[in-house]
Amino acid sequence: MTEAKFRQSLSFRLVAGTLAGFVVASIISLSALLLALDHYLRHQRDEQLKTQALDLSTHIAGFWRDQAWSSLESELQRFALTRGSAEQFVQLFDEQGQWLMSSDANYWTHQRQQSIKITSQLFAWHDFENQEHANGVRVLNFNSPDGFILQLNEDQSARKDLLRSGQKMATGAALFVLLVGGVLGFFLSRAALRGVFKLEAAAQRVQQDMNLAERVTLPTGSAETDRVAHVLNSMLDRINELVDFQKNTMDHIAHDVRSPVTRLRAIAEHALGDEDHEWAGKVIGECDYILGLVKTLLDISAAEAGIPNWEWRCGDPATAVEAACDLFEPLFDKKNIRLEKDLTYGASIRMDEHVWQRVVANLIDNAVKFSDEESCVRVSIVQEGTDIVFAVVDEGPGIEADYLEKVFQRFHRQQSGHTTHGSGLGLAYCRASVEAMAGSIRCESTFGEGAKFVVKVPLA
């Protein structure tokens, strides 16, 4: 299967659709999870900062009232050191918002302020970022009832690291879900399409083996494909009935035509010894011609109906081509026609050997009949990919473009300056037989420059 056909297959679309759904759902879920995690972590840290601000405010209230500034500053330093001077920074402002003192500011040079804006809120929050704290800083201003403002600054690196860890874990989980989802989607799609594969296999068996008795076995795996299988089986039943009817009709026609012709031929054979034996011989010849015509028509109809009475086997098509060229050698010599052969041996096609020989002989015979004396006929058989291509090229009068398809119709005869005899069924037989072998035949020609017939049949 080519890449383009694979992308158009229902299996690929189901798996791709499942994966796309997983991707979209994972992205939405991951984004929602990270937002929820960020909100939760922020809320938790805010509550912890509130608790710390209340505890520290209560602890330093006595120093504030006693105006023990040295002890008050030492307590701020101790508070910041126990939590990490790089992680937390504490400042103290009076009730007018003027700066009084702070903890160690080595890591907080950009945050030290001379004054802050006074608000009526008990807890006032804001955030900022700078070069010292690229992950951001969470700031809490606590208006103490004792007449001072306590400011806690907390670096958000820990929260951001925890958030990034959560993001990595969520991404890993999403990738795992995608992998599991892709595998499950593949197997589920295969299970869902099991009925389609059964239908395809049955249709291929009907096409390849020409077996109209083939049916799809029920159940197929799903209610939808069961309905399609029922319709297909019913259609095959109807086709089988029509084919049987056509076959019986052809048998009756063949019997009705052959019987009087056979009796007429027998009468003519008895008359061979009489004085009119020459006329009797002609009658026998015409009877044989009619019988051959009837047989060819029956063979064409059977092949077109998909019920040829062939002996299928695998063989090398080049062998029959070589034999046909040898058979027609006297005709080539008679018209002084040069034969050029390019035959590739070793390939194998599924065929009836007699039918293939007849197709090859018909095409070569046409090339000889329509070729001028001292011209050239080229016969080739080569392998192209998964096909065998047989071609016959002549240098005859060619075929007009409007007649390139008509030449394969029954009883069609080429109008040219050449006097030829035939029923006009040769190319119709070739097309019916080649198509029954799952192949194709075409004619390429420029009027006045010869014709080329190309037969393409798949390898076995």
> Residue 419: its pLDDT value, please?
47
Burial 1-40 (b: 16+ CB within 10 A, else e): eeeeeeeeeeeeebbeebbeebeeebeeeeeebbeebbee
- Measured in whole angstroms, the distance separating CA 460 from the mean position of its chain's CA atoms is 24
3-state SS string for 94-140 = ECCCEEEEECCCCCCCCCCCCECCCCCCCEEEEEECCCCCCCCEEEE
The whole-number pLDDT of residue 116 equals: 87
Which residue type, as a one-letter code, is found at position 306? G
Torsion of CA 303, 308, 311, 317, to 10 degrees: 0
Average pLDDT of the residues in 22-36: 82
Of 95, 99, 92, the residue nearest 77 (C-alpha): 92
User: Helix-strand-coil percent breakdown of the chain, rounded to 5?
Assistant: 55, 15, 25
Cα separation, 252 vs 298, in Å, equals 11
* Burial of 362 from C-beta contacts in 10 A (0-12 / 13-18 / 19+): buried
**pLDDT score at 256:** 61
| Residue 226 binned pLDDT confidence (cut-offs 50, 70, 90) | confident
Pairing of strands 387-393, 451-458: antiparallel
Helix 426-436 × helix 353-369 angle, to 10° = 140
Per the model's pLDDT, the better-predicted residue between 253 and 21 turns out to be 21
Q: CA end-to-end span of the chain, whole Å?
A: 18
Beta strands in 15-118 (DSSP E): 88-94, 99-102
Distances 457 to 201, 202, 302, 365, 392 between C-alpha atoms, Å: 21, 22, 19, 20, 15
Average pLDDT on 65-71 reads 91
Residue 417 above 60 pLDDT?
Answer: no
Picking from 371, 255, 352, 358, the residue whose alpha carbon sits closest to that of residue 308 is 352
Q: What is the largest CA-CA distance in the chain?
A: 160
313 or 410, higher pLDDT = 313
> Is the pLDDT assigned to residue 5 strictly greater than 70?
no
Q: What is the pLDDT of residue 49?
A: 92
- Say what the pLDDT of residue 380 is: 95
Q: Is the peptide bond before 260 cis (omega within 30 degrees of 0)?
A: no
Judged by phi (left if over 0) then psi (alpha if -120 to 50, else beta), residue 210 lies in left
Beta strands in 324-393 (DSSP E): 338-343, 349-351, 376-384, 387-393
What are the beta bridge partners of residue 391?
A: 380, 454
Of 139-148, 231-240, 360-369, the one with minimum mean pLDDT is: 231-240
Q: What is the model's pLDDT at position 214?
A: 80
Query: Is residue 243 predicted with pLDDT exceeding 60?
Result: yes
Check pLDDT > 70 for residue 11.
no
184, two tokens: 């499950």
pLDDT at 152 over 60: yes
Percent with pLDDT over 70 in the chain? 85
pLDDT band at 459 (very low <50, low <70, confident <90, very high): very high
Is residue 99 within 8 Å of residue 93, measured between CB atoms? yes
DSSP state of 460: -
Both tokens assigned to 364: 């070569």
What are the tens digits of pLDDT across the range 373-386? 889 999 999 999 99
**In 3D, which of 263, 247, 354 has the Cα closest to residue 302?**
247
Give the residue-averaged pLDDT of 256-263: 65
Confidence of residue 92 (pLDDT cuts 50, 70, 90): very high
Higher-confidence residue: 11 or 365? 365
Tell me the three state secondary structure of residue 67.
Answer: coil
Query: Which tokens in the block code for residue 423?
Result: 């029923």
* Full set of structural domains in the chain with CATH: 3-105+120-162 (3.30.450.20), 223-305 (1.10.287), 313-458 (3.30.565.10)
Residue 446 has pLDDT above 90, yes or no: no
pLDDT of residue 274: 58
Conformational region of residue 271, where left means phi above 0, alpha means psi within -120 to 50, and beta covers everything else: alpha
Which residue, among 249, 294, 285, has the nearest Cα to 264 in the 3D structure?
Answer: 285
State yes or no: pLDDT of 261 exceeds 80. no
Q: Is the dihedral of CA 201, 203, 207, 209 positive or negative?
A: positive
pLDDT digits (tens, 9 = 90+) for 170-202: 888 878 877 887 787 777 777 777 777 788 888
Examine the pLDDT at 418 and tell me if it is beyond 60.
no
pLDDT at residue 210, rounded to an integer: 65
According to DSSP, the β-strands at 440-445 and 451-458 are antiparallel
pLDDT score at 322: 93
Q: How far is CA 19 from CA 8, 50, 169, 184, 185, in A?
A: 16, 46, 20, 10, 8
Q: What is the pLDDT of residues 109-148, one digit of tens each?
A: 877 777 888 888 899 998 888 777 888 899 999 999 999 9
Q: Which of 101, 112, 94, 39 is nearest to 75 (CA)?
A: 101
